[in-house]
Amino acid sequence: MAVVALCSASGSPGVTTTALGMALLWPRPVLLVEADPTGGSGILAGYFRGIKSYGQGLVELALSTEDIADLLPQVAEPVGSSAASFIAGPRTHSQAPALTGLWAPLLRALQDLEATGQDAIVDCGRLGLVGWPEPLLAEADLSLIVCRTHLPAVAAARSWAESARRGHPTWAHPAVMLVGERQPYSAREVSSVLGLPVHAVIADDPGSAAVLHRGVTVPDRFDHGPLVRSLQAAISAIDAVMRTRAEGLGVEAMSDVQ
């Protein structure tokens, strides 16, 4: 396993919620990187409820003359008692263009983490924004377009999926992650329209999502609720895709969620 990048084509399908949820449940040490050029750190304001102040983040990495690989552990902050640590994104959208030169060396530093037993999950935000982390999505070990299953969401994802398939932009490993299957379309239907495999399906579970999205009090049975269970299944599915690839067993199979 190594670098998993999540992004969206339109709307707010749940990229940040899903990326954070996966990081918190990740079975190994993992670095969650907020590479969303929108700015304002949805995670500091949301999950951390604005209590955790902005220390250092991607902007400091971009401004430093030191080696990024050396700086990563200093800039990353632990997330509670989980195996995850976190690097905050830009404070404002106006800082995002300054990050353009950071994405390629950051990707290399994240890939090198694998040697230390650490994976990376990257929240790349909305595709095509000024300063978007295009090089990261191009070369991540898995680049997942997070998508709802209604027609406007699928229609917006379609042109990006087509571009990714055709190599404009060049993505090494494009795939799809659905939030709220059968609302109304199934994973199989969405996969067939987008021409990309659906590697995981995240449950539509607004109550649990609010815990991760804006730090509301954890409801009863959160750990056994639909969101957490689907996040765990997503992690297993992604793990299986990576293992299959590593073992050289051929083309990435469609996930068995379909």
When asked if residue 42 is in the footprint of ligand ATP (CB under 6 A), the reply is: yes
**CB closer to Mg ion out of 15 and 79:** 15
Q: How far is the CB of 115 from Mg ion (least distance, A)?
A: 29
Which range of residues in 13-21, 63-71, 82-90, 189-197 is near ligand ATP by CB under 6 A?
A: 13-21
Q: How far is the CB of 41 from Mg ion (least distance, A)?
A: 10
When asked if residue 18 is in the footprint of Mg ion (CB under 5 A), the reply is: no
By rule CB under 5 A, what count of residues binds Mg ion?
3
Q: Which of residues 179-218 bind ligand ATP (CB under 6 A)?
A: 179, 202-206, 209-210, 213
Write the DSSP string, the chain.
Answer: --EEEEEESSS--SHHHHHHHHHHH-SS-EEEEE--TT-S-HHHHTTTTTTS---SBHHHHHH--S-HHHHHHHH-EE-TTSSEEEEB--SSGGGGGGGTTTHHHHHHHHHHGGGGT-EEEEEEEETT-TT--HHHHHHSSEEEEEE-SSHHHHHHHHHHHHHHHHTSS--SSEEEEEESTTSS--HHHHHHHHTS-EEEEE---HHHHHHHHH-PPPPTTGGGSHHHHHHHHHHHHHHHHHHHHHTT-SSPPPPTT-
**CB closer to ligand ATP out of 42 and 131:** 42
When asked if residue 16 is in the footprint of Mg ion (CB under 5 A), the reply is: yes
Residue number with the smallest Cβ distance to ligand ATP: 14
Interface with ligand ATP (CB under 6 A): 8, 12-17, 36, 42, 125-126, 179, 202-206, 209-210, 213, 227
